[in-house]
Amino acid sequence: MKQVKSVWLMLLFALVITVLTVGCSSDDTAGDDGSETNEDAVEGDWDGQTIKVQLIGDFDLEDSTDPITGETTQGLQVIKDEFESQHPGATVEFIIMPWEGYTEKTQAMITSGEADVYQMPGIADFAAQGVVEPLEPYIEEDPDFDLDRFIDNQVDGWKALGPDSDELGIYGLPFLGDARFIAYDKQLFDEWGVEYLSEYPTMDEVTEKAKQMTGENPVTGEKNYGIWFRGDWSSAFTLINLAEGQNGSWGSGFAWDEIEFNFDSPEMVSGLEWLLEMQEYAPDGLVSDQGSEKWLTPDNDIAIMLNQGPGDTIMSAYAQGLGDRIAIAQEFKNDEGVGGMFAGSPITMAKDSENKDLAWEWMKFATSETVQQYIFEEANGMPAIQAAETWDSYAKVENLMDPTMEAMSTPWTPRYPWASSQPRFILTSEVEAALTGERSAQEAVEKAQVESEEWLENRN
């Protein structure tokens, strides 16, 4: 009996020693300095490399739930995980900023070298500073990348001039698509017995139909307004498009020392006078972005909306069950079929990035179907690639996406080079002054012309 007990004690002792030995092995998750190490880390070509990606807008890192629709959308984490799995060892960090003041904030970030890749609507100004990397060498040397993936005009629209270049070059890849168009409520048109807007309406057509649908709705008895437009933030672009619709333009040139403004042209005066006339058929509050609170609701009271964008229209209309009630017509085009602001965002690579190869990999990934489809389906953004037309999610909103895709392929390109600079805000301020009766249309555009030229002279 004693022998049996001794054997069991020896076996128990051996088991304890084994457990202690394993517990103290070199595979322990605690490092020599006590810090944790990740024994599952995957080594690869990108081991230890990190890129910081700046994004603008309503991106979320984590999943979120819409308080109105109750639908859950995936956060950027899913994109981060996918990229890092495709590039073992690499790490992506996102820096998200709001649209308010994005130009100044981007300037501060890129000056201090805070990110490797930037979403950069103001690319014309930054490329001229020499702070973003020219991309032609990466494109030419990469057999896996083809510019044909993008919607027509998207690449050309974001071309810019470098500090020493004489010709426009590629400094950014289309990342977020965008467009401007005229949206309208077919139900109100039906109730008033007015024919829907044509695909390419003229100013006279919009005037006539806005007048007809202002007043007491013959079916509901409710007050209706024929038209609405923002009289503040985006009004400069609305006015420029009115000039384009009359075969005018904002001006000419792209390099700052070659730019000439046409802000006081006859087409601009006529366009602003037209906005003043349309103000009579719109609700009060245009200059303070008010009066359109019922738009995209079942109780909508506005027939025609100028200068609308897809991000605020398409998914919102479907979320409210109005996907078949809302329709889209093109902004005003010139005799060559061109007009409307080129909009959206390119992505750029910082000139001082220390991980440019990985940054290029991210730029390709960001313009792939994986990320572009995520932007469309999860982030309420517009894709910039042609493959979007093959997605099931596109087919569900095709009646609004088809004219949006056309608008993205027929704007005035390249993007107005002053769109993110002071002349935009000078012109916007003068449109406001005219709409509030502070100045006549003629006085407002003349003042915008003088102040913009002075700003340009000081800048150069």
Same domain assignment for residues 403 and 441: no
Q: Which of 388, 384, 401 is nearest to 347 (CA)?
A: 384
Asked whether residue 312 is assigned to any structural domain, the reply reads: yes
Higher pLDDT, residue 12 or 93: 93
- Using only C-alpha atoms, the chain has a radius of gyration, in whole angstroms, of 28
Same domain assignment for residues 70 and 194: no
Contact 206, 238 (CB under 8 A): no
Same domain assignment for residues 198 and 285: yes
Residue for token digits 């060892």?
Answer: 89
Asked whether residue 10 is assigned to any structural domain, the reply reads: no
| % the chain with pLDDT above 90 | 79
Q: What domain count does the chain have?
A: 2
Does residue 123 have a pLDDT over 70?
yes
Asked whether residue 398 is assigned to any structural domain, the reply reads: yes
Same domain assignment for residues 389 and 256: no
Does residue 115 have a pLDDT over 70?
yes
Specify the pLDDT at position 413: 83
Over residues 33-49, mean pLDDT: 56
Same domain assignment for residues 309 and 194: yes
Per-residue DSSP letter, 263? T
Same domain assignment for residues 280 and 312: yes
Contact 244, 410 (CB under 8 A): no
Over residues 79-95, mean pLDDT: 97
Same domain assignment for residues 404 and 436: no
Same domain assignment for residues 152 and 69: yes
Neighbours of 266 (CB within 10 A): 13
Asked whether residue 22 is assigned to any structural domain, the reply reads: no
Q: Range of 105's domain? A: 50-178+344-410
Same domain assignment for residues 265 and 292: yes
pLDDT class for 68, splitting at 50, 70, 90?
Answer: low
pLDDT class for 67, splitting at 50, 70, 90?
Answer: low
Asked whether residue 146 is assigned to any structural domain, the reply reads: yes
CATH code (residue 232):
3.40.190.10
Asked whether residue 451 is assigned to any structural domain, the reply reads: yes
Does residue 455 have a pLDDT over 60?
yes
- What's the pLDDT tens digit per position in 335-349? 999 999 999 999 999
CA distance 432 to 236: 9
Specify the pLDDT at position 69: 63
Neighbours of 307 (CB within 10 A): 22
Does residue 186 have a pLDDT over 50?
yes
- What's the pLDDT tens digit per position in 383-429? 999 999 999 999 999 999 999 999 998 899 888 989 888 999 999 99
Asked whether residue 34 is assigned to any structural domain, the reply reads: no
Coil, helix or strand at residue 10: helix
pLDDT class for 319, splitting at 50, 70, 90?
Answer: confident
Q: Which of 206, 151, 150, 224 is nearest to 329 (CA)?
A: 206
Contact 122, 110 (CB under 8 A): no
Which tokens belong to 157?
Answer: 């629209």
Coil, helix or strand at residue 140: helix
Same domain assignment for residues 194 and 290: yes
- What's the pLDDT tens digit per position in 204-251? 999 999 999 999 999 999 999 999 999 998 999 999 999 999 999 999
pTM listed for this prediction:
0.82
Specify the pLDDT at position 32: 32
3-state helix vs strand vs coil in the chain, percent to 5: 45, 15, 40
Higher pLDDT, residue 305 or 415: 305
pLDDT class for 130, splitting at 50, 70, 90?
Answer: very high
Does residue 6 have a pLDDT over 60?
no
Specify the pLDDT at position 414: 84
Does residue 12 have a pLDDT over 50?
no
Same domain assignment for residues 161 and 60: yes
Mean pLDDT of the residues in the chain? 90
Same domain assignment for residues 362 and 396: yes
Asked whether residue 148 is assigned to any structural domain, the reply reads: yes
Over residues 142-162, mean pLDDT: 94
